[in-house]
Structure 1
Amino acid sequence: MNLLSKKVTMQQIADHLGVSKFVVSKALSGKGGVSTAAKERVLEAAAQLGYFTQQNGGRLRSKKEDKAAKPSAPRQSVLVLMPNVRYQTMDSTYWGKIIDGISAGLADDQYGMVILSEQNVDNLRRVLNLDGILGIIGVGVVTSAILLEIHRLGLPMVLVDHEDALIPADTLFLNNIDSMNRLTRHLIAIGHRRLQFIGSVGFSRSFQDRFQGYRAAIEEAGLTLGDEPQGYLELDGLDHYEDQLAPWLQKKREEGELPTALVCANDSIAIGALIALHQLGIDVPQHVSVTGFDNIEDSAWTTPPLTTVHVPKEALGRRAVRQLMDRIQAGNEPYEKLLLAGEIVYRGSIQEGEAAGERGTAR
């Protein structure tokens, strides 16, 4: 039987998993009563069977309430949900700019903004006043449990720089794959043959896409991804990258395998690389070129200034607001994944690689 051709019910999910309807109901309600493992199995099965993508799937709102959610109704604020983690705050030179864009976009439409950095489902229920919330914009990584609760409540939702395989929603990203691909191809064009991607690909969807763009350019040129088994150098933590990179760079120098270009997943990693290289007396860009991604404010003030990809952070925020308003009007129209273009910012941290002299300059 093709479950996607009909309304998917809790009983069908239960039959598919071989559990009771009670277990499925508890898992989808988000109110507890089942183990974490059982809940994850139910959510995964529900997503696979199309439970969340069908009209009003798992939602509590009635059609009358959906109609009341239009901008013309007295719902005057948008909830901006940010993870409760120290690297992702309003003070961040990356995330803070996105929030600025959201604030400006809402102000243009005369809507208010409520910021919540909370990842506890029970607390989320307590603070949410549905009569005052027009919709939700999630900024960065938001847990599946929170997203499920938002979906269950029937609130329109847009996610910025994040997506969840279980919960359908409109998403907004920079075109990370294309931007990193163009940056890597430029490095190859100016003579670099020993490149290394630096950054933990599992950290975020953006890092995964940036590595994918890098890998495509490397493979197209017939080069190797680097000396690391997985093709990228994985880092621990969210700061003090120079402490991890310095021993690795020293080892590569001693082995005579120092890359000529370090392609970093973001500017913070690239700045750590610049510090580590300076500590080791390795000149940038004469011996090693370094690139970043995001174009945070500090990237223009490093020594040398950092070549990077500019992410239009405020534009991402403004576009998220517009997408939320479009979603409110669109109702059950297909969800969209939007990609904004990035722009390479060429600065002093790169120069021609060793292969450039073999065939002349290629700029």
Structure 2
Amino acid sequence: MKMEDIAKLAGVSKSAVSFAFSGKPGISPETRERILQIAQESGYLPRAKSPSIDHTVKSLTFLVISNSGIVLEQFYQQPFFRELIQFIEERCRTKGYSLLFSSIDMEFLERDIRMVAEEKKSNGVVLLGTNLNREQIADIANKLQSPLVVLDTCFDTLPIHFVEINNFMGAYQAGTHLCEIGHTDIGYIESNVRIHNFEERKRGFTSAIQEHGREILITHRFSVAPTILSSQDSLKAQLLAFLKEGHRLPTALFCECDYIAISAMKTVQELGYQIPDDVSIIGFDNISEAVIISPELTTVHVEKQRMAYLAVDLLIESIELEQSAGTKIKVDTHFIERLSSRANYTSKD
């Protein structure tokens, strides 16, 4: 049986079958599952034709473990990850490598990681680690047994290559900026899904404001979903309850990512407040939408191109020079002041 036969049985194109086998985005989960089920029932094993790497074609795999928290099933449509993928593909082409995609649902992690490991489709793997914990990364690395770089997180005790954002630095820059322009009544909006990056941002921001003799009161901490760009009823309810208790809206809000910041801007505006006249809002990531929203978002710029290039270069070095010692790379950020924040002249020390 050939790939064309599988396509006919599934009622899809040959390219859709290819997407299903490679893990590339472009087809729905239902279609992918149907194709793989038909292939299994028909005894068709695509890896049997090429049980090992074709050394005439150099390739890397971008491996994503999706869930419903941070890295969604349509991760390639999320601004931050979309930009990362673009730069990874760009660097691969420059280095003479093609880029394959493999996406796994967190629910089927154990089963599907074994499948990826057995297929050995590429020379090495760039693993998106944003939503993964230490144990999951260690288990994936152990099962893959191939050159690996983990992107967008870091665990110092694992003997693995990591390339991450200097999250502490970025949030520290944001906190320092707010204090230096006179804000003393500062609020913090965090993600209700906790990952390594957000914990580091919280540490960095807290450190900055403490150095300036300030603190974030427990009443000034709010929690929302991290992947919604529209206003959120849950945040609106939290803010209304906060105001009902007799508090005034903080003069500034730091948000753990741009998604949260943009959502907060829309929510606050719906409550009748002006940005930045009534409240300054700062995000983190500098996604493309940061300059589309009105007013344009003050944020922390993440060097996504630099991170992508470093990850690809480090992986290729591991493949071609057979480097085994793990390397940890932390890429610095820089602060971008736009129109969603301003000095607070009424509460300077």
Q: TM-score range by the shorter chain?
A: 0.7 to 0.9
Aligned length: 286
Q: Letter of the aligned partner of 2:238 in structure 1?
A: W
Structure 1 residue 75: Cα displacement: 6.4
1:90 to 54, 60, 76: 76
Offset from partner CA, 1:297-321 (integer Å, 9 cap, x none): 1111212111011112232212110
Percent sequence identity over aligned pairs: 24
Residues 287 and 336 of structure 1: CA distance in aligned 2, closer, same or farther (over 3 Å): same
The TM-score, its normalising length taken from structure 1, stands at 0.71
Q: Letter of the aligned partner of 1:247 in structure 2?
A: A
| C-alpha contact (below 8 Å) 1:193/1:355 kept by paired residues | no
The TM-score, its normalising length taken from structure 2, stands at 0.74
Query: Matched residues in 1 for 2:140 and 2:293: separation?
Result: 43
Residues 154 and 126 of structure 1: CA distance in aligned 2, closer, same or farther (over 3 Å): closer
Between stretches 159-168 and 263-272, larger displacement belongs to 159-168
| C-alpha contact (below 8 Å) 2:59/2:97 kept by paired residues | yes
Residues 73 and 147 of structure 1: CA distance in aligned 2, closer, same or farther (over 3 Å): farther
| C-alpha contact (below 8 Å) 1:93/1:297 kept by paired residues | yes
1:206 to 197, 205, 218: 197
Q: What SS does structure 2 have at the residue aligned with 1:90? A: helix
Structure 1 residue 323: Cα displacement: 1.4
**In the alignment, which residue of structure 1 is the partner of 2:62?**
80
Residues 185 and 127 of structure 1: CA distance in aligned 2, closer, same or farther (over 3 Å): closer
**In the alignment, which residue of structure 2 is the partner of 1:137?**
126
Q: What SS does structure 1 have at the residue aligned with 2:66? A: coil
Offset from partner CA, 1:207-256 (integer Å, 9 cap, x none): 1111111000111111122234xx74222463255212212222333413
Residues 149 and 171 of structure 1: CA distance in aligned 2, closer, same or farther (over 3 Å): closer
Q: What SS does structure 1 have at the residue aligned with 2:62? A: strand
| C-alpha contact (below 8 Å) 1:282/1:288 kept by paired residues | yes
Between stretches 251-260 and 314-323, larger displacement belongs to 251-260
Q: Letter of the aligned partner of 2:174 in structure 1?
A: L
Structure 1 residue 122: Cα displacement: 2.1
| C-alpha contact (below 8 Å) 2:60/2:124 kept by paired residues | yes
Query: Matched residues in 1 for 2:56 and 2:78: separation?
Result: 32
Q: What SS does structure 1 have at the residue aligned with 2:65? A: coil
**In the alignment, which residue of structure 2 is the partner of 1:279?**
270
Q: Letter of the aligned partner of 1:331 in structure 2?
A: Q
Structure 1 residue 163: Cα displacement: 3.3
**In the alignment, which residue of structure 1 is the partner of 2:6?**
none
The root-mean-square deviation of aligned C-alpha atoms, in Å, is 2.6
Matched, 1:299 2:285: no
Offset from partner CA, 1:169-214 (integer Å, 9 cap, x none): 1111111111111111111111100111211376211111111110
Query: Matched residues in 2 for 1:151 and 1:245: separation?
Result: 41
Query: Matched residues in 2 for 1:207 and 1:222: separation?
Result: 23
Q: Letter of the aligned partner of 1:246 in structure 2?
A: K
| C-alpha contact (below 8 Å) 1:201/1:208 kept by paired residues | no
Q: Letter of the aligned partner of 2:111 in structure 1?
A: D
Structure 1 residue 282: Cα displacement: 0.9
Q: What SS does structure 2 have at the residue aligned with 1:83? A: strand
Q: What SS does structure 2 have at the residue aligned with 1:178? A: helix
| C-alpha contact (below 8 Å) 1:75/1:132 kept by paired residues | no
Offset from partner CA, 1:126-177 (integer Å, 9 cap, x none): 2445654211111132464464243244211111112357743111111111
| C-alpha contact (below 8 Å) 2:226/2:260 kept by paired residues | no
**In the alignment, which residue of structure 1 is the partner of 2:340?**
349
1:103 to 74, 89, 95: 89
Residues 94 and 170 of structure 1: CA distance in aligned 2, closer, same or farther (over 3 Å): same
Matched, 1:332 2:321: no
**Structure 1 unpaired stretches of 5+:** 1-67
Between stretches 121-130 and 107-116, larger displacement belongs to 121-130
Query: Matched residues in 2 for 1:244 and 1:214: separation?
Result: 23
| C-alpha contact (below 8 Å) 2:187/2:216 kept by paired residues | yes
**In the alignment, which residue of structure 2 is the partner of 1:124?**
113
Residues 108 and 348 of structure 1: CA distance in aligned 2, closer, same or farther (over 3 Å): same
Residues 247 and 73 of structure 1: CA distance in aligned 2, closer, same or farther (over 3 Å): same
| C-alpha contact (below 8 Å) 1:162/1:172 kept by paired residues | yes
| C-alpha contact (below 8 Å) 1:83/1:117 kept by paired residues | yes
**In the alignment, which residue of structure 2 is the partner of 1:248?**
238
| C-alpha contact (below 8 Å) 1:161/1:205 kept by paired residues | no
Between stretches 125-134 and 249-258, larger displacement belongs to 125-134
Query: Matched residues in 1 for 2:127 and 2:327: separation?
Result: 15
Residues 165 and 121 of structure 1: CA distance in aligned 2, closer, same or farther (over 3 Å): farther
Residues 142 and 208 of structure 1: CA distance in aligned 2, closer, same or farther (over 3 Å): closer
